[in-house]
Amino acid sequence: MRLACCALFALLARCTAFAQNDGTLDPSFGIGGIVTTNMGSLDDFGFGIALQSDGRLLIAGVVGTGATTNDFGIARYTTSGLLDLSFGGTGKVVTPIGALDDQARSIAIQPNGRILVAGHAFLSSINSGTDFAIVRYMQDGSLDNSFGTGGKVTVNIALNNDAAYAIGLQDDGKIVVAGTAYLNSIYQVAVVRCLENGLLDGSFGVGGKVTFNFGSNTSLATSVSIQDGQILLGGYVYEGSDLQFALARLSENGSLDPSFGSGGKVVTSLGPGGDLSHGMVVQGDGRILLCGQTAIGGDTAIAIVRYNSTGILDSSFGNNGVVVWNVSNVSDEAWSIKTQDDGKILVAGSSGFDIAMIRLFPDGVLDNSFGTAGVVLTSYGQGSSRANAMAIQDDGQIVLCGGSQVGSGADFIVTRYKSNLASSSTHGFEIQKPLVQVFPNPNNGRFTIVLDGSAQVNTLRLFDSSGREMRVEKVMGSISTEICYELRAGHYLLEVISNHAREVHQLVVH
C-alpha cells in the first residue's frame, strides 16, 4: 500500500519494531528515548510513575512555582512521549495545596481510572511543618470533588513535619499512605489509611493512623506494598550512629504482624556508615526486595537486599541476601526496583551525574546481556540527572522518571529503554521489519509512505510539536490511498499503528 503526502519532512529519529539490545534507549519515545518537561518556573522533579491501561504514562512530582513555593504536579504522555493534551488541556496539571512547600512523591491509578497522588503539604506558617496530603484527579486531570474536600485530603499526625513518600491500593479500594511524622522528639514511621471517599478508616490503628519506630531512633517509611491484605513498609532507621535498611509488616487492622521478622520488624545493617532504602518490590513468590544505597569509603554504592516472605534474609540471593554494586567510582544510589516477567531484577537510580540502571539475574548475579556488562548509564545535557521511579510496560519496555538539570533549573525527565522481552511478548511489537517506509526523507515538500501489507496497519496519526493531534487516517487492507497534508514549517510526529505494533517517525517540515 502506498500513500503520497504533500509536506516536507526531515527525519530526526525513526523507531521500528526491530529487536534491539536490552537497555538501549528507545528512539520511538520522545527524542532518542528521552523526554524532558518544564512544569513550572523553577525546579521540577518527577518522583512517581504510573502506567494507564491504554499505555499512556503519568508522572507525578514536585513543581517549583516560586522562590519558596512548590506544588503538586502531574504530566501525562502518549505512548510516543508526547504531552497528552486531553489531560488538563496542556498535558500538565499543577495543584497547590498549602501555603508553601507541597511535594507529590507517589502516584497510583484506581481500577476506575481515577488518579491518586500522595505527598505532603505545608498548610500553616504557624506550625512551620507539613501534613500528609492526598489528591485525586479524574481521568482528564480535573480534581475529583467526590474525594475529600474538592479532591484533596490532608492528614495531621504530629504537630509538624509529617511527610508522605509512598502510596498503595488495597483490593477493597482502601488507600494506604506511608511516610514519617515527628512525634515525641523523634521521627517515626507514619501510616494512614483512607476509605475510597478520602475519609480516614477508623478500623485502622487509632482513627485511621499508625505510628511506630523500626528501631530505637529516627525511622522513615519510603516504600509500601500490599501483600495478601497485609501492608509491607520499607525504609530506614538510625541505630546508634548508623543508618540501616528496615522493613515491617502490618496486619489488616494496622498492628505489627508478629509472624514477620522480630515482632513485625526487620532491621539490616550492610556495614558501618549509612544504609538508605528507597524502593521495594514483592516478587510473585512472596519474597521481598529492597533497594537503596550503602556507604563505602567516601562514596555510596547501590545496595539490594532480599528477604523471604517472613522477613528472613534470603541466603540464595547474592551474599547471604545482600548485593552491593559500584557502578562507577562516584556516588551511586538506587531509588526504584522492579522484576521482569522472566524473574530478572531491574534497579534504577543514579551514578554521579547520570541516570543509572542495572539488571540482575534472580540469584543476584549481574546480567551482562543488559546494557554494557549489566549497566546502563544515561546522561542528559550538562547537569545531573537521577531516576526516582520505574515502570515496566506490557511489552517489556522500561520507563524511568526523575529530574534533570536543564539550564539554571531542573525539569521532569522520562526515559524509555528497549527490552528483549518485548520481542517475545504476546502483547505486541513482535514483527521484525518496519510497518512503513517514509521517503524521501528529507524532501522539499512531498513524501511517500509505503505500508507493509502483511503488518495490518490500520491507523496513521499526525501530531505537531506541542502534542496536538492534527490528523487521523484510518487505512484498511491493501486499498491505495493518497493523503495530502497542508503543514507549516516545524516539527511533527507520525504515529503508525497496526494490530500488533506501533511505530513513531519523528519529522520536521522545512
Which residues are CB-neighbours of 8 under 8 A, at least 6 positions away?
442, 443, 444, 445, 446, 447, 487, 489, 509, 510
- Residue, of 173 and 9, whose pLDDT is higher: 173
Rounded mean pLDDT of 174-193?
95
Q: pLDDT by residue (tens digit) across 42-70?
A: 899 999 999 999 999 999 999 988 766 89
Q: And the C-alpha cell for 73?
A: 504536579
The Cα–Cα gap between 140 and 123 comes to 26
Q: Where are the domains of the chain?
A: 436-509
475 with 5: CB under 8 angstroms? no
* Pick from 50, 80, 13: nearest CA to 502: 80
Maximal CA-CA distance, the chain? 75
Rounded mean pLDDT of 93-104?
90
Half-sphere exposure of residue 412: CA atoms within 13 angstroms, side-chain side:
33
- Please give the model's pTM, rounded to 2 decimal places: 0.79
The Cα–Cα gap between 81 and 463 comes to 11
**DSSP SS3 for 15:** coil
436-509 CATH choice from 2.20.25, 1.25.10, 2.60.40, 2.40.350:
2.60.40
- Give the pLDDT of residue 20: 46
Rounded mean pLDDT of 450-474?
66
The residues facing 236 across adjacent strands are 220, 245
The Cα–Cα gap between 456 and 499 comes to 6
- Give the pLDDT of residue 272: 81
- Residue, of 1 and 81, whose pLDDT is higher: 81
- Give the pLDDT of residue 394: 93
The Cα–Cα gap between 240 and 312 comes to 22
Q: And the C-alpha cell for 121?
A: 503539604
4 with 495: CB under 8 angstroms? no
- Range with lowest mean pLDDT among 1-15, 223-237, 469-483: 1-15
- Range with lowest mean pLDDT among 163-167, 181-185, 314-318: 181-185
Q: What is the mean pLDDT of the chain?
A: 85
Instruction: Give Cα 328 to chain centroid, integer Å.
Output: 24
Distances from the Cα of 300 to the Cα of 221, 296, 318, 457, 479, angstroms:
20, 5, 18, 49, 60
**DSSP SS3 for 343:** coil
Give 428's pLDDT tier (boundaries 50, 70, 90).
very low
Give 170's pLDDT tier (boundaries 50, 70, 90).
very high
- Which range of 340-349, 453-462, 482-491 scores highest in mean pLDDT? It is 340-349
Which residues are CB-neighbours of 250 under 8 A, at least 6 positions away?
191, 210, 230, 231, 233, 256, 257, 264
Q: pLDDT by residue (tens digit) across 320-378?
A: 999 999 898 789 999 999 999 999 999 999 999 999 999 999 999 999 999 998 999 99
Give 454's pLDDT tier (boundaries 50, 70, 90).
low
The Cα–Cα gap between 510 and 488 comes to 8
276 with 268: CB under 8 angstroms? no
- Give the pLDDT of residue 150: 97
Say whether pLDDT at 21 is over 70. no
